Amino acid sequence: MIAPRSVHCQRHFSHSADHVWQQVHDFYSDWHPFIARCEQESPKPIRRFTMPGSTQVYREQLTYYSATQRCFRYEMLAGIAGVKRYQAGVTVAPTDEGCLLSWWANIAGDEQLVHKVAQGTAEVFEAGFDAIETSLRTPSPQPIAHGRFIGNGAFKRRGAKDSGTTAPPLPMRERGLGGEGVKCGTLTLTHHPSPNNPDYLCLFLHGIGGNRSNWDDQLPAIAEIMPCAALDLRGYGDSALGDQPTTVDDYCADIRAVAKHFGAQKLILAGLSYGSWIATHFALHYPNELAGLVLCGGCTGMSEAPEAVRQGFLQARLEPMNAGQTPADFADNVVQMISGPQASDVHKAAMRDSMAAIPAETYRDALHCFTHPPGRFDFGQLACPALLLTGEHDQLAPPEEIAGVALRMVEAERPEDAPLPDVRFEVLVGAGHMANLEQANGYNQLLGEFLRRLSAS
């Protein structure tokens, strides 16, 4: 008989949440006294370990990670015969007098076996708490890894070598695309070749108020890892607008045409806002064509909004244009809404310029597409690793909303033969909606870590 059982252990520590998180954040370390040896099955987020005095190999996969939330989740792949499913997670939450460390597990399998496994699991968790207390009493020279990502707190497995490249990126080139598979006539993008991982392509998709220049701070950095390109969506920048109203499927056709043009065997999409919505649609409808998904400042868009909300959103933005204005006339108002409190004048000018450059016809076309989604997203169809980012001060995609989407990706029901979720969520402190622009270094570091892992041999 298959029976479920849950184990939930907690312990309060007088140290800060950041200090305790530093003890447990590394999924691939051997800090726990019940682990004799632990290693990562790179590039997959899987750890293999043995216990003292035993040759039994346990394998567990990391399914969710967030330094911002100081938590991670994992699932056992092998190690305990008779256990059908073993899911667990760790969370470090601050309190007025320190922090609370929670460690939980949901176990399913043979009823008698699960009871014993649950007892053993509780012992494992309590032994971990004891080890942490002992470690905290010993001064450590290691810097504290802050839970809120600020661009200089990368978490790297002990002993791991830096996977940076020795060759500098090649010069940027601009190309126009046309022909087979491109329905809108001509697409324009900025392509940045790379001598590294030539079978990959990281394609950047801008927001509804942007263009390909919004990714200028990303292209040179990412080209040190793999080829990359920033695309002008239909009607934006130097790309042509189609003869018919654009649909999200049209954007997907353009993405596939770009991948084919460059011969990319492994495509990674990195979207911002509107571009994130398009990238998510692609990931769920063409799961076999995507190696990775990076979403910043959005995901579901209007796909889950009621009809009244979608129409209200549309009318509010069409009203000034129906009165004769162009995007250039209300660009300053848009910048005020999307910029974070630390945005520099240079950043604000870049936002204003990209918004002001949008033809009114293109903006109408994109708004119509955005507010007429083909349906809700089924995250159970997500088959590739995903990195979700947003700015601390993003009013359009608040951290709480994007964190909720990330957990939905993890918890979505999947076919038994589908890959386990592989999701990371982080907040870029101080940034507004265009976090990649305002906090380019932090964004590039997180994206770089993600791409290096995906492309590791």
Q: What is the pLDDT of residue 239?
A: 94
Residue 248, classified by CB atoms within 10 Å of its CB into exposed (0-12), middle (13-18) or buried (19+), is buried
Cβ–Cβ under 8 Å, residues 91 and 113: no
Q: Quick check: 153 pLDDT over 60?
A: no
In tens, the pLDDT along 342-372 reads 999 999 999 999 999 999 999 999 999 999 9
In tens, the pLDDT along 269-285 reads 999 999 999 999 999 99
Q: Quick check: 145 pLDDT over 70?
A: no
Confidence of residue 186 (pLDDT cuts 50, 70, 90): confident
CA angle 142/144/145 to nearest 5° reads 115
SS3 of residue 43 by DSSP: coil
Task: Look up residue 133 and give its amino acid.
Answer: E
Q: What is the pLDDT of residue 416?
A: 86
- Residues 279-303, mean pLDDT to the nearest whole number: 97
Task: Look up residue 75 and give its amino acid.
Answer: E
Q: 75-82, long-range: CB within 8 Å, 24+ apart, which pairs? A: 75/420, 77/46, 80/109, 80/113, 80/117, 82/109, 82/110, 82/113
1's enclosing H/E stretch is none
What token pair was written down for 49? 């370990």
- Residues 329-344, mean pLDDT to the nearest whole number: 96
- Domains of the chain by start residue, with CATH: 2-136 (3.30.530.20), 173-455 (3.40.50.1820)
Q: What is the pLDDT of residue 214?
A: 97
**φ, ψ for residue 130, nearest 5 deg:** -60, -40
Taking the model in full, what pTM does it have?
0.91
Q: What is the pLDDT of residue 42?
A: 82
State the average pLDDT for the chain.
90
Q: What is the pLDDT of residue 177?
A: 60
Q: Quick check: 173 pLDDT over 90?
A: no
Q: What is the pLDDT of residue 1?
A: 58
SS3 of residue 374 by DSSP: coil
Residues 6+ apart with CB under 8 A from 154: 445, 449
Top-confidence residue, 171 or 236: 236
Pairing mode, strands 423-428 and 386-391: parallel
Confidence of residue 166 (pLDDT cuts 50, 70, 90): very low
163-167, 360-364, 367-371, 395-399: least confident range:
163-167
